Structure 1
Amino acid sequence: MAVIRLLIFALALLLTAGAGLADSIEVREFDDPVKEERYKSLTASLRCPTCQNQAIDDSNAPVSGDMRDRVYEMLQDGRSDMEIRSHLVERFGDYVLYNPRLEGRTYLLWGLPAGLVVLGGVLVAWVVRARRNASARELSDEERARLDSLINRGRES
């Protein structure tokens, strides 16, 4: 009786492990190798909305599976990469793109790093120029007289 229970448990364990593997392996049929490459490129360049920073080709989240299915269907329908990306952005937002588009809302995102570099360069140039001017300035008559008195006081001691 114990042997039968052990066999049933082992069989149930194998069936659940096999079902889990079957869910994670997706087989896509492509009639054209170019479409297959486009599919791989698109799924690698789209971000999973659930997984934060993981591409949909590498994610096991259900939403990623749905997105992969949608990309496959749209490729089979003859849609362009731009149309597919636009459709997914429309549905999930700009977040699904690893490289956001350059548009009015993203100018700050794209321009801020360059602006900070330029601002830093201007600030460094201003500080260097101010120090040069400060060190090259001549002493006034009062400053020269005070310096001479300090030097003479040091000699008298």
Structure 2
Amino acid sequence: MIRSSLSRALAGAILLATGVPASPVFSQSNRPPAELAYTQLADPDQEAQAQLLMEELRCLVCQGQSIADSDAEMAGDMRALVRERIAAGESPQAIREWLIERYGDYVTYDPPLSWITAPLWIAPLLLLALGIFIARRSFRRRRAQ
């Protein structure tokens, strides 16, 4: 085990030293996917709840995909975790809160309103108001001419 870690580190160092970009091969491990990563729950209602929640959660590796769409190993682990907890009777909201507590607000596509995320919520409103102001001003100038 130590030998394989050393050989991976040595291979990474050689690639960095030679200027060759790192391959995706080094980003995935050799372990099999989690049991429920690619298997649906037997209960269709629970699977529907799991799917809805997985669409709301961001893959921390891909960053542009939900964990439902991502093939990254971590997304598979998160899908398995969501399905396991829903099968155990935990509510999707409780699972979502636990993941936010563990990984931060970034894990969700719908971050809660707080002082840190306030610019994300306020910026679209300010830009809309600015657009309306500019449009009204432009229309008034055209009417005056």
CA distance in structure 1 between the partners assigned to 2:110 and 2:44 by the alignment:
25
Q: Corresponding residue for 1:116?
A: 127
Q: Is 2:124 the partner of 1:107?
A: no
Q: Is 2:96 the partner of 1:96?
A: no
Displacement after TM superposition at 1:88 (Å):
0.9
Alpha-carbon deviations, 1:68-88, whole Å to 9, x = none?
Answer: 121112112211111111111
Tell me: CA distance 1:127–1:27, structure 2 relative to 1, closer, same or farther (3 Å). closer
- 2:69 pairs, out of 58, 61, 64, with 58
Q: Corresponding residue for 2:54?
A: 43
Q: Corresponding residue for 1:77?
A: 88
Alignment coverage as a number of residue pairs: 113
CA distance in structure 2 between the partners assigned to 1:120 and 1:26 by the alignment:
45
Radius of gyration: which is bigger?
1
Higher helix share: 1
Displacement after TM superposition at 1:125 (Å):
3.7
Question: How does the TM-score come out when normalised to structure 2?
Answer: 0.63
In structure 1, stretches of 5+ residues that fail to align are 1-19, 136-157
Q: Is contact 2:59–2:66 with CA below 8 Å preserved after alignment?
A: yes
Displacement after TM superposition at 1:49 (Å):
0.1
Question: How does the TM-score come out when normalised to structure 1?
Answer: 0.59
Alpha-carbon deviations, 1:76-133, whole Å to 9, x = none?
Answer: 2211111111111111111121222233322211121111221232344446657877
CA distance in structure 1 between the partners assigned to 2:41 and 2:136 by the alignment:
60
